[in-house]
Structure 1
Amino acid sequence: MLAVAFPWICRCRVRSYCLRAIMVDAMNDEQSGEWRSAEPLGRLAVLSYGAGHMLNDITSACWFTYLLLFLTDLGLSARDAAIVMLTGQVADAFTTIFAGELIDRFGHFKLWHAGGSVLVAISFSSVFGGCLPCEIMGSDSSVLQTIGYSLFAAIFNIGWAVTQVSHMSMVNCITLNPTSRVALASCRNAYSMVANLSLYAVALAVFSIYNAQAYAAIKLEYRWIAYLSILMGCCFVLLFLIGTKEPELKYKSLCENIPKVSWNYWFKKVLYYQVALVYILIRLITNVSQALLAFFVINDLDMPQSSKALVPAIIYISSFIISVILQEMSWTGSRLKTFFTIGAILWIFSGSGILFLPSTLRDIMYLLSITIGIANALMMVTGISMQSILVGKDLNGCGFVYGSLSFLDKLSCGLALYALESYQDSNHMVRSFAVSSGFSITRYGLGFIPAACALLSAVVIFTMDLEETRSNNLTEPLLV
């Protein structure tokens, strides 16, 4: 009888202990007025988290800046090059949905992050390497090259998506402090600027050394850029894995069997659609401008080859400085909306300047690069922080939120770039008009599209109802 009753007695004691612990915790929460998890983060926690996206950022910078240029230099048409990029974007988009769902169910952010990073490191060199199917089949036809590069582009973007979703959704599970969440997003953006600057420094050095014209030399210089990018990115991924703990808030929700937040819950929130639209527009601004920038400064403004690296470098230096400054501020919903609107206005100004900038005044592009960098940082940091406000304390749905928004982002950017490249490649009448008028598809794409997206996003921001939660600054400011 005792043997039968003993398990029941143990369970009762466990339940009683858990109930007492929950009551004590509740009393402590009532006395303190806030969760212990809402305390501000320290400097090392923020810095180590930010390092986790460096590999993704540096490979992404290379992807959007040089992929189309690389493929067209190899002899592919603009449309075939756009197909390669679109294939990668579509693979990325669908992977984010599945990755977000699995992370919500099982957690283990760092494990997903490490697996995605390994896949990125292995596959990225092949994107800018040789065409494996071409070597196997012994043919260099454009169809086979398109298939070969598309295959590795898809593999690379699958790993990229897993790493991105796991890293971004960690923010809400690391801390409940609103200002610390903005600091994490801002630090991540600052590291992104470091990654881009590192890429352009490497690219500038490689382009200066090789100055390649032949097919084999072009492949070699881009392969060196890819190898060095992977090496630098992996070093920072190791720093992240060593310095960042697996978020305790996620484990707490899983251990307590808190039910997973359903998709319908998010679809019923107006703020979800507002944040989704703003995020899509931000990504269209940054990705489209990054992909077309090298073409614009070389073909439209007739600037020297070094400008392919120098102009983007100025953009990212400006973004880095602003991102670091934003980490030192305390944040409210209205302040997020204000700074985002300032960034949107700066992009509208920059886009208008690009549309009407003549090649005789090409040096003004360096000044416009500064305003573009400031605008990108303001919009990206505040826009991503609005995702944290959307998620709030619904930690068992954060993976879906970041995954679904990334799905929309990748699909829209891929289709936009494909349309621009295909239109430029096929419409001879438009190209003839562009030559005579000075208004190319690249100029329209770089000037009008980001400016229009910035204007629309500012309108959406104005309609948002963000929670006015105040919180303390970081326990250790990053600027001393």
Structure 2
Amino acid sequence: MGRVVAAGGGAAAAGGGGDDGERCAQNACETMPLLSRLRRAAPRDGDGGGGDGNEGRLSLGLRFAYGLGHVFNDVCAAMWFSYTLLFLQVVLGMPPILAGSMLLIGQVTDALATPVVGVLSDKKGSRKLWHLAGTGLVLISFPLIFSPCPGCDRDTPTLMALYYAAIISVFQIGWAVVQISHLAIIPDLTEDQEKRAGLTAIRYTASVCSSVAVYVITWCVFHVTRNSMFDSIGPEDAYKFRNIVLITTAIGLAASAYFHFGLKAHNLKPKVNTQTAGLDSLKKSSIASYFKSPLLFQVSFLHVASRLFLTISLVYMPLYLNETYGEDSEILALVPLVSYIASFAASLGIKYINNSWGSKTTYFIGAVISTFGCVWIRYGTGGAHGRGNVYGASILLGGGSSVTMVTSLCITAELIGTHTHNGAFVYSIVTFADKLFNGIAVMVIEDLKCSSQELCPHYYRDVLAYVCGGSAILGVLVLATMTYLSGATKILTSPTENDPESKNPDVTTALTHEVT
């Protein structure tokens, strides 16, 4: 569930968005900043409302309708990463290892469903029909995740785990269906790369607004329902999460309805199968070449390290706040909100730094910022004097994670280079690895948790400090190996006389793509 500009193209590729998805990811990492993309995407005088390739124009209303198509997913993702473990453990009383396994089940289901949905949606049915079906699954399942299990209690943890595992699986499948179908609509709306980049930017802006809205709504609910100055989260607060979910679901459902009414079938060009036998042969040979190079695995580990930092900080920040400042429920919404705003602000400057100093230097800067945030969490927060410091640390965590996450996707796009016919394969490998490792990491962290808070009173503080800090350092180490190897590594072999496809220089090209 990525929510960055470059992630848009990456997810599209992984789920069957094709070459267009990879090019969107590449464009998002190049020269044009997000706000500039939005301005370039605005309709010119005389623009119409069609969406039929290079000939037609994309009206403002059509762009707006498209941008709202992923809002339901975005509000669900913000709740999923920030408050699922908090709700399962603190409100429902689910044992930590079972709560962690719920997140693992969700991540693995998402990883497996994404490519399957991509292939099927390319072959069967319309994009809007798939989007509608996915929205229905999310609508049915998402509110149930943050509702008490009927007939379950703290004495029946296995029954509770089975119930939520089924609900979460349905939710993740629906989420993947909406994500992939929405991304795949971009190339169906227009063939123009600049317009596609503009749609990606609009989609990202809607995602940012959705996430901010979730944290604001959460703060409002906690503030209005606060009983005293010292109001900690507990089993009696299930209704608060229910109210938050009902409000966010209503917003997401309204946005999805506008998307379906505002985006007409005639705006979408029919799906065309452009594969040829020669291209299929090229894909097979060049994919084998990818596996022969260490750079694919280096890029995958770099992305895993970046995503691990982001996921752990999102998931465990509310638990850390509840552990350290449990008497103040409002801080559970305010600190994630500040962190998210910092990540958005940082994303606006990444393009400039990337263009001036290159992807590696940009990633290193982000990792250093992230590490300082972890050190601040470990030594500068806690107690009365640390309440203000936690906001400063959250700014560093949010800004640093944004830089490393977006830059890792840019490096992935650079790995693909002009070989967009392999983009779906590369993104599938990278995103599957990050979802699997993140799910396993959460379950291991929950398994290692002490049975009583008195035995390890600062457990979640140490998780943020050491696990997030370790993942930032891991990213730098992987980056160092890429610096050493990339200059001498060829991802794809040069044309040879033994390969009949290599006779055409436009079909197979040597990729000595050094990551800048």
Is residue 71 from structure 1 mapped to residue 88 from structure 2 by the alignment?
yes
Partner of 1:298: 322
- Cα–Cα, structure 1 residues 102 and 408, in superposed 2: closer, same or farther, change >3 Å? farther
In structure 2, which of residues 381, 390, 393 is the aligned counterpart of residue 368 of structure 1?
393
Rounded to whole Å, the distance in 1 between the matches of 2:239 and 2:332 is 18
**Is 1:229 aligned to residue 244 of structure 2?**
no
Choose which of 372, 377, 380 in structure 2 pairs with 1:354: 377
SS in 2 for 1:449: helix
TM-score relative to the length of structure 1: 0.73
Residue 387 and residue 111 in structure 1: after superposition, are their counterparts in 2 closer, same or farther (change >3 A)?
farther
Q: Which residue of 2 aligns with 1:289?
A: 313
Secondary structure of residue in 2 paired with 1:253: coil
Flag the 1:330–1:79 CA change in 2: closer, same or farther, 3 A. Answer: closer
- Distance (Å, rounded) in 2 between the aligned partners of 1:288 and 1:165: 24
Provide the rounded CA distance (Å) in 2 between the counterparts of 1:456 and 1:283: 12
Query: 235, 248, 253: which one pairs with 2:274?
Result: 253
Q: Which residue among 460, 473, 478 is the counterpart of 2:478?
A: 460
User: In structure 1, what is the equivalent of residue 52 of structure 2?
Assistant: none
Structure 1 residues without counterparts, runs of 5 or longer: 1-37, 471-480
Q: How does 1:13-412 map to 2 (within 5 A)?
A: 42-44=40-42, 51-72=68-89, 73-102=91-120, 112-132=130-150, 134=151, 141-165=156-180, 189-211=204-226, 218-237=237-256, 242=262, 251=272, 253-254=274-275, 258-259=279-280, 261-262=283-284, 264=288, 266-301=290-325, 304-326=328-350, 329=352, 335-360=358-383, 361-362=385-386, 363-412=388-437
Q: Tell me the distance in 2 between the aligned counterparts of 1:171 and 1:336.
A: 26
Which shows bigger deviation, 165-174 or 303-312? 165-174
SS at match of 1:259: helix
* Alpha-carbon offset, residue 224 of structure 1: 1.9
2:84 counterpart letter in structure 1: L
Give deviations 1:81-139, integer Å, cap 9, x for gaps: 2232222222222223423554677796665555434322321111112425x38xx99
Aligned-pair distance for 1:203?
0.9
Structure holding more helix per residue = 1
- Aligned to 2:164, what secondary structure does the other structure show? helix
From the superposition, tell whether residues 290 and 114 of structure 1 become closer, same or farther in structure 2 (CA, over 3 Å): same
Point out where structure 2 has 5 or more consecutive residues left out of the alignment: 1-29, 43-57, 487-511
SS at match of 1:359: coil
- Residues 180 and 280 of structure 1: CA distance in aligned 2, closer, same or farther (over 3 Å): farther
The corresponding residue for 2:468 is 450
Q: Structure 1 residues 122, 268: closer, same or farther in 2, change over 3 A?
A: farther
Distance 1:112 1:468, change over 3 A: farther
The range that moved more, 94-103 or 280-289, is 94-103
What letter corresponds to residue 353 of structure 1 in structure 2?
W
AA aligned to 1:219 is: A
> What's 2:55 paired with?
none
Higher RCO (CA < 8 A, seq sep 6+) = 1
Measured after TM superposition, the shift of residue 150 of structure 1 is: 1.4
Q: SS at 2:369's partner residue?
A: helix
Structure 1 pair 451–469 and aligned structure 2 pair: CA distance change class (3 A) = closer
Of 382-391 and 101-110, deviating more is 101-110
The Cα offsets for residues 149-208 of structure 1, whole Å up to 9 and x where unpaired, read as 11101111122233445556788997796x998877666554443222111111111222
Counterparts of 2:308 and 2:167, CA distance in 1: 23
- For residues 418-443 of structure 1, the C-alpha deviation after alignment (integer angstroms, 9 at most, x for no partner) is 111121144x6xx65534xxxx2211
Q: Paired residue for 1:416, among 421, 441, 445?
A: 441
Q: CA deviation at 1:467?
A: 4.9
Of the two, which has the highest radius of gyration?
A: 1
| Residue-by-residue CA offset, 1:20-65 (whole Å, 9 max, x unaligned) | xxxxxxxxxxxxxxxxxx9987325787766554332321221121
Letter in structure 2 aligned against 1:455 = I
Deviation at 1:220, TM superposition (A): 2.4
TM-score (norm 2): 0.69
* 1:150–1:343 distance in 2 versus 1, CA, 3 Å: same
Distance verdict in 2 for CA 1:118–1:108, change over 3 Å: same
Shift of 1:78: 1.9
Shift of 1:223: 1.9
- Cα 1:185/1:70, change in 2 over 3 Å: same
Distance 2:125 2:417 in 1: 17
The alpha carbon displacement at 1:354 in A equals: 0.8
| Aligned counterpart, 1:475 | none
Number of aligned residue pairs = 421
Amino acid at match of 2:76: T
Amino acid paired to 2:456: A
Say whether 1:434 aligns with 2:451: no
Tell me the residue number matched to 2:3: none
Given that 2:417 and 2:513 are in contact with CA atoms closer than 8 Å, whether structure 1 keeps it comes out as no
Contact 1:315 1:370 (8 Å CA) reproduced: yes
Going from structure 1 to structure 2, the CA distance change for 1:69 and 1:216 (only over 3 Å counts) comes to: closer
- Counterpart-to-counterpart distance in 1, 2:195 and 2:469: 30
Q: Match for 1:253: what amino acid?
A: T
Alpha-carbon spacing, 1:215–1:423, altered in 2? closer, same or farther (3 Å): closer
* Letter aligned with residue 402 of structure 1: Y
The 1:108–1:382 alpha-carbon spacing in structure 2 relative to 1, beyond 3 Å, is farther
Asked if the contact 2:139/2:249 (under 8 Å) is kept, the reply is: yes
Q: Distance in 2 between matches of 1:454 and 1:215?
A: 33
Contact 1:99 1:399 in 2 (8 A): no
* Pairs within 5 Å for 1:2-13: none
